[in-house]
Amino acid sequence: MDYIRIWTEVDIKDIQEHIIIVDDRYGFCPGCKEMGMRIDGLKKCPSCGREFKFVTSREAAQGGGRAFELIMRVKKKLPDLTFVDYGDYERLTGKKKAETLFKNIP
């Protein structure tokens, strides 16, 4: 199987609500802050029931061969999830946060 990164228009809210953040072995649910979940075949958060459709990893953000290997391992464990670039995810959620902050300024 080959992989390429594709730019596509997204609903960042949909991603934010259905994402799991993983390292090599374990997952973190941003919804309920549950940590240390085994990710093999995981489809939803055992703690809050959040459905997972997207996955990202901070360790994949560096790029290069190691990041690629990590992504391949994650893809094997979570084949149904779309792997989102961590840098993109952080940039967009950070932007959203800034917008919310501005809204609160009278």
Does residue number 47 form part of the binding site for Zn ion (CB under 5 A)? yes
CB of 15 to Zn ion, least distance (A): 15
Give me the half-sphere count of Cα atoms (radius 13 Å) on the Cβ side of residue 30.
17
Does residue number 32 form part of the binding site for Zn ion (CB under 5 A)? yes
CB of 89 to Zn ion, least distance (A): 17
Does residue number 48 form part of the binding site for Zn ion (CB under 5 A)? yes
DSSP codes of every residue in 2-43: ----------HHHHHHTEEEE-SSEEE-TTT----EE-TT--
Does residue number 98 form part of the binding site for Zn ion (CB under 5 A)? no
